[in-house]
Each structure stands twice: as structure tokens, then as C-alpha cells.
Amino acid sequence: MLRRFPAILAILLLVPLPALAQPSDDVAVRLISFSGWAATDRPLQVSIEVRNAGATPLGDVRAGLTIRERVRSRSALRASLDGNPSTDVLAVTTEQLDGDIAPGAAATIPIERDLGSLATSFRAGRAVSGVYPMTLSVQAGGRQIVQRFTAFVFLASPPETPLNMVWIVPVHRPLAADAGGVYDRAAVARELLPNGRIASTIAMLAAHQTTPLTLAPTGSLGDQLEDLANGFPTDDGKSVPATDPLARSAADLLARLRAAMSSPAFEIATATYSRASIPFLDANGLSPDAGRQLAFGRERVTKAFGRAPDPSLFVDGAFGLDARSARTYAAAGGRILVLDPATVHDPVEGRFGPDRIVELHSSTLTFDGLVLDRPIRDRLELPSEDPVLTAMGVAAETAGSYFERPGVASGRMLVVATAPAPEPAVAGPLLDVLAQAPWLRIRTASNVDAEPSLRPSGDPQRLDVAPSDGGARTRQSRAARRQVDIFGRVLVKPSGQEELARLDRIVLASESSDYDRHSSTAISLARKARELARHHLDRIAVPPRRVTLTSRGGQVPVTIVNRSGYTIRLRVRLDSQKVTFPTGAARVIEVPGKERGTSLGTLPFALEARAAGSFPVVVRLETVDGDDVIGSGEILVRSTAVSAVTLMATAGGALFLLVAWARRALSRRPKTGSAA
């Protein structure tokens, strides 16, 4: 009877148990290679690496394989991969390592087996094609160290009709700089070095330039590589010049990515600039940014990578679509979208998931939806300590999908996609297998969409409206967008366009789905963009001044102080309850900018005082269209002039007093009369 060990994490492919021979931290076990499939004439091959991080030699090391009866459903396969196999054991085999593993050293245990020699179920004439669960175990000193769960594909005969498969590969990395454009040098090094995420992804694509993949590159990645190649400031207060090895690595990677993406086998889908979700933006009052994400994303991808994305094929940052975003996609030319199953209410499905194109309707708009396989997406997106084991499990899942209905596989499809870029250590070995897998036919998304046998077979699906978020993240994004837009409407092109583009990129980056689980980063980016834009606007001001009018009307000069460094155009509007403006209360002025220093612009306004005295005149600085106030100031006007009405009233009052005085004086004069 085989001893079975429970899995610690049922959702992971990598399932280490508490070590019995040494502490688990002292022994690391991982799968380093596997054969894509086995057959009657093709042996099963796996290679396992055992690393001894302990202080004592690791002796009597052996690896074992426990092979079980094939699974009949993908749910049973997933349970097996998650550490809960349920089928009967067919065979058990072990491989002994010669010698001990010294402290700090590693050893590889290759296992190659003709399956027909292990079980009659794999012999010609009796073998049955399918997916077979397998348990890998490693022992040392007669005690089990670790147990892992996977599965392999066995083909008794070559598949007659392969399953159509689309693999959407995001080519994207989260923003590596802060809102000020300062990069973390250590993080950049991890990304750019040969074993880094970006370099490994490019190497994977370069090795498969004849495989028809659908790539979804983002403009954000292109901009970052260009920034790094041109030299960049770092978080240690220094600046990396373009001649630095890191900057040269970025330039080299950008060139290699451009070369890889030029392959005619690859299809380039339109993605949002920063992997943002269009339904999320549209639902939260950021519809202008939704369109900007698509347009700017296309523009930057074309510039950075030298190839324009397909304007009809869209990959949303969260694979979403709703009635609002349908209008945004349609306005941008979208027709084919890659979607999460949650987007589709009542899809026509195969036994375990959507396997045909789904038609979606919203008002008069129609889209074709390619619905991704959620279990495969979940498995690929989970962190794994053993990437090759994960790849082997996903390869088995694709075969499990094929074996659902192998007889009609040519009229079915499987869509593989992940929201973040897949881990290259998983995607690389997986793609090596799937590119040659006899049960699959890899095709691009648009190629599958044009296949008559894969067209929708059910009623069109109606789209709902996604709920709004209303949280701090969206409030900060809206506030940042408003301030950046105001700043942009004040600038006179080409002045300040580089700074405006930088702020725009920060706002777009803050909207990325990369921060769905880390909203504090998104909030920080958006707040910084708003503060920077506001800082520039606050450097445009009206200094206070006093003006004395010696007559009823006069000219009052209004001075605009521009310390922003950029040429600006704005509207100056005056307002006062005791002053009228005969020639108008608002005028437009353009004030040139100086890179260092202050620029002044002056506008004369005609004023007419309604009364004598001192009173304030409010000066408002607005965008030219008058929609937004940039700032304000005040001019104190003192009028010493006397109006005609006042003069007449004063003169009349004086005359009245004079007559009254005269009459009173006459009434007191002594009277003359007869003698006493």
C-alpha cells in the first residue's frame, strides 16, 4: 500500500510537505524538464533537481513516480493537479541518485520510462489516449522529503483533428518608476538582466517566431524601455547615462523585441496603454481616459515596437466588456474582444467551458467575443515555486480540453490568456510543448474569428452596465485628470508638451489593472500627477496692486506673472460690484515662458467707477474657454472723482443752506419805529 500525503495548499501545483529527512527549507526540489507527451513508442521523461541547502550531506536520494489511471473529466484532472487524485494506481517506479548531495550543491535525477514496460494499459493494442495523473516524490535516507502532483499526456495514436487554440500573450510590465520618473536601479536590473522578466519574455518570443501567437503589448512598456535606453535617474540620487550597461541593455532589449514582434506569424492586438480596464474607466467617470488609453496605447506601441496593432482586435486589461465600454470600443474600431467568462451571462458552452465564438450585442453594436479558459488562467496566474511543474500541469489541461470531445475538436477552440504577463519560467517550457503538441492547432485570434466552423451557434448575448466603484482611487484619478487637462489647455504648443506628456503618462499608469490589489500605489501616482500639474498652474499669478482713478473712468493695467517656464494662453476676467467695464470684462492674453526666471504680461482694462471710494476688483485667470479657473488675484481701485449727480446734489444742498441762513439772519435784524 502506497503512503499518501495530504497537500498543504490544494490550489498550487507545487505542494511541499513538512520535511522528514531535513527541514524543508534545507532541501529544494523542482522539476526542470518534461516530455510534452508519451506514446507507445515515445518514453515518458522527467528531470528533477534536488538542491541541498543544509549543513550536512544528503544521502540515499531517490525520486519516484506514481502513475494513475487516466481522468475522464477536467474537474477530476484539476483535483489531481491540486493534490487530490482519485483514480487507481497503474504503476510505481523509482530512480536512485548515485552518491550524496553535498551541502550547497544540487543534483539532477533524470527519469525515462517506457510506459508499456510499467503497465499493460500503455502497450500497443490496449493503450488508451488521455491525461494520466502522476505524483512525483523525493526521498532521502529512506524518508520522504517532498511530494508533488502533476499529469502527463499519453497518445495511443496521433489525434486526427486537433483542437484550435488561441494564446493571448500580454507583453507588459508594471511601471518601474515613481511619479517623478525616478527608477529603482535594483528593480531595473532584475528586469533587464538575461534572466529577468523582460529579457526572458523576449527570448521566449524570439525562440517561437513561427508560432502564431496573439501578442498584446502595452505602450507603457515601450515608453519605459525607451526611457531606460536614453539614461534615467535612480532612487539613490544618481543618474544612469545612456552609456551605462543597464541603459545599453534596455536599448538592446528594445531592439530585440522590435525584431521579434516583426514576425509575420505574430498578431498584434490593441491593448490599453497601461493595461487599464475600459469598463472600469467608463463606469467611474473616466470615459475620456478610456478612449485615450486605447488611442495612446496604439500610438506608443507603433512608435516603440515598429508595428501597428490590429485596430479591430482588443485585449482589455481585465478582459471586460459592458454596455458603456461597448461604445468606447466601437468608437475605436473594435470588433473582436478577448473576454473573461464572467462577462458572458449565458454562453453556449462545451462540457467545461465556452468553446466557440460568442456574439455580443449592445444597442446597435455587435462584437465577437473570444472567451478565455478560466481554470487555465487561474493556474497560470498563481505564483509557483516550481514553474516547470506548473507548465506540465497546464499542458495536461489543454489536452484535457481536447479529450472532452476529440471527434469534433476542429469545431472547438480553447483560449489561453492571462491578465498580467505570464511568468516566463512557466510560459517558456509550456510554449515549447504546446507549439509541437499533436492535439493542438495554435492560431491567432483574428484567424479563429474568421473560421466558419467556430462562429456563434447560440443567441447573441446582451451586455449589462458595470457598477461604479466610487472609491478613493477613482476620485484621485478624476482629480488628477482634471488638473492635467487644465494644464494642457493653458499651454501654447509646442511649449510644455514634453512635461504634459509625462503627467499624462502618470495618470494613465495610475489607472492600470496592475494596481487592482494595490490601490495605494495607484492613488499615490494619481495624487502626484495632480500635485505636479497644480504646481505648474500655481506659478501663474496676479500680483496685488492699488490703482487710483482721478476721473470717473480710466485704464487699469492687469499684470500676469508667469513663473511656470512655459508659454501660456489664458483668459483674464475682472469682476466688481462698483465698477463697470465699458470695453468688456474679459480678455485673452498669451504670456511667453522662460526656462529660468519670470515672464510678465500686461492687459489694460477700461474701468468706470460707479461711486467714489475704495473697492476691490477681483481678477480671475481662466482657461481660454472659460470653463475652469486657474487662479485669482485682486486689484484695489480708489476713485477720487465726483460724479455730476453728486456735484449737483451737493451744490443744491449748499444753496439751500445758504438761503436758509440768509432768511434766519434777516429775521433777527432790529425793527425801526416811533420814539417812546
Do residues 332 and 400 share a domain?
yes
Q: What is the pLDDT of residue 3?
A: 38
Where residue 640 falls among pLDDT bands split at 50, 70, 90? Answer: confident
Mean pLDDT for 484-511 is 95
Residues 294-300 have a mean pLDDT of 96
CB 606 within 8 A of CB 553: yes
The answer to whether the CB of 378 falls within 8 A of the CB of 416 is no
Q: Under a CB-based contact definition with an 8 Å cutoff, are residues 294 and 288 in contact?
A: no
Query: Is 649 a residue whose pLDDT tops 70?
Result: no
| Same domain flag for 267 and 325 | yes
Q: Residue 673 pLDDT more than 60?
A: no
Q: DSSP letter string over 141-204?
A: TTEEEEEEEEEEEEESS--SSPEEEEEEEEE-----B-TTS-B-HHHHHHHHSTTSHHHHHHHH
Task: Determine the residue type at 606.
Answer: A
Co-location of 117 and 218 in the same domain: no
CA distance 59 to 76: 36
Statement to judge: residues 327 and 338 lie in one domain? yes
SS3 633: strand
Residues 334 and 397 in one domain: yes
Report pLDDT digits (tens) over 76-133.
999 999 999 999 999 999 999 999 999 999 999 999 999 999 999 999 999 999 999 9
State the average pLDDT for the chain.
Answer: 89
pLDDT attached to residue 462 = 84
Residue 646 is predicted with a pLDDT of 55
CB 29 within 8 A of CB 49: yes
Q: pLDDT tens, 529-578? A: 999 999 999 999 999 988 888 777 888 899 999 999 999 999 999 999 88
Among 7-16, 205-214, 313-322, whose mean pLDDT is lowest?
7-16
Residues 6 or more apart whose Cβ sits within 8 Å of residue 303: 222
Same domain, 143 and 245: no
Res 654: pLDDT: 60
- 487 and 555 fall within a common domain: no
Last residue of one domain, picked from the residues 430, 456, 482: 456
Residue 469's pLDDT band (cuts 50, 70, 90): confident
Does residue 404 lie in a domain region? yes
- At residue 12 the predicted structure's pLDDT band, cuts being 50, 70 and 90, is very low
The Cα–Cα gap between 20 and 552 comes to: 100
What CATH number is given to the structural domain containing 302? 3.20.110.10
CB 228 within 8 A of CB 184: no
Q: Which of 167, 161, 36 is nearest to 443 (CA)?
A: 167
Q: Do 143 and 60 touch, CB atoms closer than 8 A?
A: no
The DSSP element (H or E) to which 43 belongs, if any, is: none
Q: CA 342: distance to chain centroid?
A: 20
310-315 and 267-271 beta bridge pairing: parallel
Q: Looking at residues 155-171, what average pLDDT do you find?
A: 96
Question: So what's the pLDDT on residue 676?
Answer: 38
Q: Are residues 532 and 568 in the same domain?
A: no
E runs forming strands in 523-655:
540-541, 545-549, 553-562, 568-575, 579-580, 586-591, 599-609, 613-622, 629-639
Report pLDDT digits (tens) over 243-262: 999 999 999 999 999 999 99
Q: Which of 355, 428, 467, 399 is nearest to 195 (CA)?
A: 428
Residue pair 246/228 in contact by the 8 Å Cβ criterion: yes
Q: Contact 240/185 with Cβ under 8 angstroms?
A: yes
Instruction: Convert 393-443 into a string of H (helix), E (strand) and C (coil).
Output: HHHHHHHHHHCCCHHHHHHCEEEEECCCCCCHHHHHHHHHHHCCCCCEEEC
pLDDT for position 475: 93
Q: Which of 215, 224, 230, 223 is nearest to 300 (CA)?
A: 223
In the predicted model, is pLDDT for residue 655 greater than 70? no
Answer yes or no: are the C-beta atoms of 286 and 477 closer than 8 Å.
Answer: yes
Helix (H) or strand (E) holding 249: helix 245-261
582 phi/psi in degrees, rounded to 5? -55, -35
User: Looking at residue 14, what is its pLDDT?
Assistant: 38
User: 547 φ, ψ to 5°?
Assistant: -130, 135
CATH number for 567: 2.60.40.10
Compute the distance between CA of residue 341 and CA of residue 380 in angstroms, rounded to an integer: 16
pLDDT of residue 9: 31
Number of alpha helices (DSSP H) and beta strands (DSSP E) in the chain:
17, 29
Residue 657 in domain: no
Nearest to 630 by CA among 591, 583, 579: 591
H or E segment to which residue 33 belongs: strand 27-34
Task: Decide if 257 is inside a domain.
Answer: yes
pLDDT greater than 90 at residue 428: yes
The three cell numbers of residue 477 are: 484619478
Q: Is residue 504 in a domain?
A: yes
Tell me, yes or no, whether 329 and 407 share the same domain.
yes
Q: What is the pLDDT of residue 2?
A: 35
Is 665 domain-assigned? no
And the C-alpha cell for 479?
482629480
Query: Which residues in 198-236 are b (16+ Cβ under 10 Å) and which e?
Result: bbbbbbbbeebeebbbbbbbbbbbbbbbebbbeebbbee
Looking only at Cα atoms, what is the longest distance across the chain? Answer: 171
pLDDT band at 278 (very low <50, low <70, confident <90, very high): very high
- Report which of 394, 390, 392, 438 is spatially closest to residue 416, judged by C-alpha positions: 394
Residue 332 to residue 294: CA distance in whole angstroms: 7
Give the pLDDT confidence score for residue 363 in this predicted structure. 85
CATH code, domain carrying 84 = 2.60.40.2550
User: Apex CA 238: angle with CA 235 and CA 239, to 5°?
Assistant: 105
Distance in angstroms (rounded) separating the CA atoms of residues 235 and 243: 19
For the segment 274-296, the average pLDDT, to the nearest whole number, is 95
* Domain co-membership, 170 together with 89: no
User: Helix (H, G, I), strand (E, B), or coil: what is residue 548?
Assistant: strand
Q: What's the half-sphere exposure (Cβ side, CA atoms, 13 Å) at 224? A: 27
| DSSP conformation class of 515 | G
Cis peptide bond upstream of 494, omega within 30: yes
Q: Side chain identity at 224, as an amino acid letter?
A: Q
Residue 18's pLDDT is 37
pLDDT for the residue 603: 93
Is 625 contained in some domain? yes
Q: Which residue has the cell 504646481?
A: 535
* 117 within domain boundaries: yes
Residue among 384, 365, 381 nearest 373 (CA):
381
In this prediction, residue 650 has a pLDDT band, given cuts at 50, 70 and 90, of low
Cell of residue 452, nine digits: 466558419
495, 515, 538 - which closes a domain:
538
If you average pLDDT over residues 306-310, what whole number do you get?
Answer: 96
Total domain count, the chain: 4
**Residue 615 pLDDT:** 86
Cell (9 digits) for 271:
491593448
* Cα 421 from Cα 169, distance rounded (Å): 7
Determine the 3-state secondary structure of 37 from DSSP.
coil
103, 133, 155 - which closes a domain:
155
Query: Does one domain contain both 422 and 289?
Result: yes
Phi (first) and psi of residue 54, to 5 degrees: -85, -175
Domain assignment present for 464? no
Residues 242 and 293 in one domain: yes
The amino acid present at 84, given as its one-letter code, is N
400 pLDDT higher than 50: yes
Q: Cβ distance 574 to 587 under 8 Å?
A: no
- What range does the domain containing 532 cover? 472-538
Asked if 147 and 136 count as a contact pair (C-beta separation under 8 A), the reply is yes
Single-letter code of the amino acid located at 663: R
User: For residue 606, with 0-12 CB atoms within 10 Å meaning exposed, 13-18 middle and 19 or more buried, which class applies?
Assistant: middle
Condensed to tens digits (0 to 9), the pLDDT of residues 432-464 reads: 999 999 999 999 999 999 999 999 877 788 888
| pLDDT score recorded for residue 518 | 85
pLDDT(219) > 80: yes
Position with higher pLDDT, 609 vs 629: 629
pLDDT band at 669 (very low <50, low <70, confident <90, very high): low
